[in-house]
Structure 1
């Protein structure tokens, strides 16, 4: 969590940390009550200017006979505008420059004129660099006027050192501004990194929830469809062939236990204690026979046809799981919607660059099926295919029935 003190106190120890913490609190107070610091600074410099105007100004004056009233007014004009140095630095500098012009032209040469450096600093700190050109245009006339009217000092003694001093103040303003911007950039970057991290965590959690929902749909939906088919077949066989009914009940028990085991393994990975989770290999193409056997027990006649030989380099385990789940979902939909007299064919056709998977059933043309784009099953199949750059299509056949077709690029041959 980024706090107000973190950017300034990170890495500091001992006395340095306490000083930085104090500075941070001072800045925070100044941000909430800027007038307090502005008034304090202005009154401090106004007091110093008035003390100098009480008689000390004559030690540096070129004309000690300047009226005291004028010196008092000039001292206030060179100090009171500091109250607006942060909000309107150019205006404050303009007022002070006019007072400095009168001071140097009269020969008073008040030292309060050097307070013009404070607005110059704030111009460098908060304004565009071109504002300093106008600032030096305001500062230069008083210096030139004093050098011309009272040439006791040469130009390089009166004008050049003062200009260098103001230039160094402006440079200091640029340095402070650069450091402040750098610190603000680091704080902003840290906050954005925190936001991005939180977003990544939420996206990862959403993706994991989607994956778990897809697995649970495939596991539970398929097994429940098989159990439903077995229960319907057992009910019809009970009156004529009790032995077949008993076999159906045994198959229901086996399928139910398998579904519970699969669900228990899936939920086990969600526990906090990872050691308690049971980890079994995910289904592959080698498990298709077991899948088809369970579907046949549920009453659906299904055949498997494999064309051409599998590629020397087998599909990645994730791709095999995708093929398995697509076939499983397609047969589950056939069990749900195609009717008891339907038949299904599963085709695996290997090509040099892709694997074609096709599941076709012989349901009647009037059989209600989910529309494309609807239902968790179709969405899950498309998501699985997209993970491996595959293309999945499905729809009704003109002669009746339904087909699901998956084209999956082989490893190293993306579509």
Structure 2
């Protein structure tokens, strides 16, 4: 309820400001009426219309004190000064000076607040010196307490409002940064899953296509070879399903259900199995390791495995019949170097430079500060050279 009330007051600020000064306007009307009936000095000086006009000139500008506090205070102070020059009696409407002073202190800088307070004190001094010149000093000191109290209240309201605005701004900025971080994390996770799925699907499907073509050719002439090819297709398909399940299965877990056990991500130790799978698919591949073996982080091992997998997948797809491949892994000082080369016709295939495979390899290497060079070999074929620093965090 209070929240709706505050929202309504913000939408109708002018109406609220007019309602807050309406008691002062009513008090001024009653006072002017009393002056008129009693025939007092004020009524004789300016007449009832003059007193009503003076009261209106002091009260009406207060409606705009929220949006234009300095201008409203200047108008009210000027009208009060004219009233003093014309020697018109003090009216209840002169309280508008204090209201306008509060508006300046609560919404302007300290410099303007000090200036408005000095003007209000000077006006009070002029009025007291005219009314009671003998005791003007003591009366001015006692009456200044009201002006100082209003001024301090305005300064406190200003400080409080700025503090709340600062809190709201920091909360909004923190919420915006949180949303940005969430979007960045989601985009990075989508990219990672897409990269993993591409590597898994492209490699395994390429092996299955090669085996299926071989089984088709050998079906009539060599049924045993065709049977072995079909068995390789079945094993490769199961492996692909298992890897895809490992990647996206966690996203489908029911809330509160125990997490399913998944196999660890492949690494350097599984490169031998990968090479054997490629050989079984019909691509003769030599795998050599040189240098002193080093322990690599799991993420870096996965990057090495996927890069080798993607490079051999490209050879399977684009190398052509009779292609041979070589995989060389060298442990150096502070880095690991991979050389995946073949003697096929993949260098002339236009898709080699336009697909997502090379992009994925470069992204994986770049995550660990590495680089990828992919280019045709001088004697034919294609070569991919990868250098990754050892032990660099992603």
TM-score, normalization by structure 1: 0.83
Is contact 2:318–2:346 with CA below 8 Å preserved after alignment? no
Scaled by the length of structure 2, what TM-score is found? 0.87
- Give the Å deviation of 1:153: 4.1
Partner of 1:275: 258
> Which residue of the partner structure matches residue 360 of structure 1?
341
Q: Does 1:295 align with 2:316?
A: no
* Structure 1 residues 297-336: aligned runs within 5 Å: 297-311=280-294, 314-336=295-317
Aligned counterpart, 1:199 = 180
* 1:247 maps to which of 225, 228, 232: 228
Measured in 1, the distance between the counterparts of 2:304 and 2:60 equals 82
Q: SS at 2:186's partner residue?
A: helix
CA distance in 2, matches of 1:27, 1:134: 31
Farther-moved stretch of structure 1 (330-339 vs 140-149): 140-149
**Structure 1 segment 29-48 matched on structure 2, within 5 A:** 29-48=8-27
Which residue among 217, 222, 237 is the counterpart of 2:218?
237
Partner of 1:15: none
Q: Describe the shift of the 1:269–1:71 C-alpha distance in structure 2 as closer, same or farther (beyond 3 A).
A: closer
RMSD value over aligned CA atoms? 3.0
1:94-123 per-position Cα deviation (integer Å, ceiling 9, x unaligned): 343244335445262334323201111111
CA displacement at 1:211 relative to structure 2? 1.6
3-state secondary structure, aligned to 2:348:
coil
Task: Please give the alpha-carbon distance, in whole angstroms, between the structure 1 residues aligned to 2:186 and 2:78.
Answer: 66
Q: Which residue of 2 aligns with 1:5?
A: none
Q: Is this contact kept in 2: 1:315–1:411, CA < 8 A?
A: yes
Question: Is the 8 Å Cα contact of residues 267 and 298 (structure 2) preserved in structure 1?
Answer: yes
Q: Give matches, 1:1-12, under 5 Å.
A: none
Conserved 8 A contact 1:107-1:146: no
1:78 is paired with a residue whose SS is helix
**Pairwise mapping of residues 163-182 of structure 1 onto structure 2 (< 5 A)?**
163-182=144-163
Structure 2 residue matching 1:356: 3-state secondary structure: strand
1:304 is paired with a residue whose SS is strand
Number of corresponding residues = 389
Offset of residue 50 of structure 1: 2.7
Instruction: Give CA-to-partner distance per residue, 1:137-190, whole Å, 9 cap, x none.
Output: 643554343344444343432434444532332221221122222223323333
CA offsets 1:336-383 (integer angstroms, 9 cap, x no match): 0011111110001111211101101001376315354x3221121112
Distance of 1:102 and 1:158 partners within structure 2: 22
Rounded to whole Å, the distance in 2 between the matches of 1:48 and 1:180 is: 31
Structure with greater proportional helix content:
2
Unaligned stretches of 5+ in structure 2?
none
